[in-house]
Amino acid sequence: MFDISSIANGKQEEFYQSLHDFVQGIMYDEEDLIANLANVASLLYNTMENVNWAGFYLLKKEELVLGPFHGKPACIRIKVGEGVCGTAVSTGQTQRVDNVHLFEGHIPCDGDTNSEIVIPIYKKNEVVAVLDIDSPILHRFNEVDQRELEKITRYLSDGCNWEVTR
């Protein structure tokens, strides 16, 4: 149904243009949160180079709880302020970590991970979840990745029914 083999893997900008088209395509006319998060996690995991984990944590009662993802099993609950994910929530800012071993409090879920990006997802000016992507190589994510992945979190914010998370 969705042939992701056509996603360009050449230039970074072309890759993200194709990825945005696919994300908007799979979410078209569908606002189910879990279905959309699951498909986007799959798209990211299966199309981004050098990625060993891609998925979501949902903020429930002031704690992050594991949501749809692709990769090895991960820790289920993360407190706000803890780890890279909890820091993204407490600061409200994207955390782009070039070397997770130098990030104080990093929570290691997959020993292969060396760098990581975590983007808070906002709904009505409040953080409701984070997108977390891990890489086995150092310095995997640059400012273009950050900008384009933040765009994807805005599609998810606008296109999904977040009421079910609370």
Q: Which is nearer to ligand SME, 40 or 84 (CB)?
A: 84
CB of 148 to ligand SME, least distance (A): 20
- Cα–Cα distance, 45 to 69 (Å, whole number): 9
Smallest gap from Cβ 25 to ligand SME, in A, equals 26
Which residue's CB is nearer to ligand SME, number 43 or number 89?
89
**Min separation Cβ 21 and ligand SME, Å:** 27
| Nearer residue to ligand SME within complex by CB, 7 or 58 | 58
Minimum separation from the CB atom of position 44 to ligand SME (A): 13
Return the structure tokens found at 83: 């780890």
Q: Which is nearer to ligand SME, 7 or 53 (CB)?
A: 53
| Least distance in angstroms from the C-beta of 161 to ligand SME | 24
Between CA 137 and CA 139, with CA 138 as vertex, the angle to 5 degrees is 120
Of 114, 110, 109, 107, residue with least CA distance to 135: 114
**Contact present, 148 and 133 (Cβ < 8 Å):** no
In contact, 103 and 97? CB cutoff 8 Å: yes
The encoded tokens of residue 113 equal: 């991970």
**Residue with nearest beta carbon to ligand SME:** 83
Residues 123 and 113: their CA atoms lie apart, in Å, by 29
Task: Catalog residues that contact ligand SME under the rule CB under 6 A.
Answer: 53, 74-75, 78, 83-85, 106-107, 109, 113, 116, 132, 134
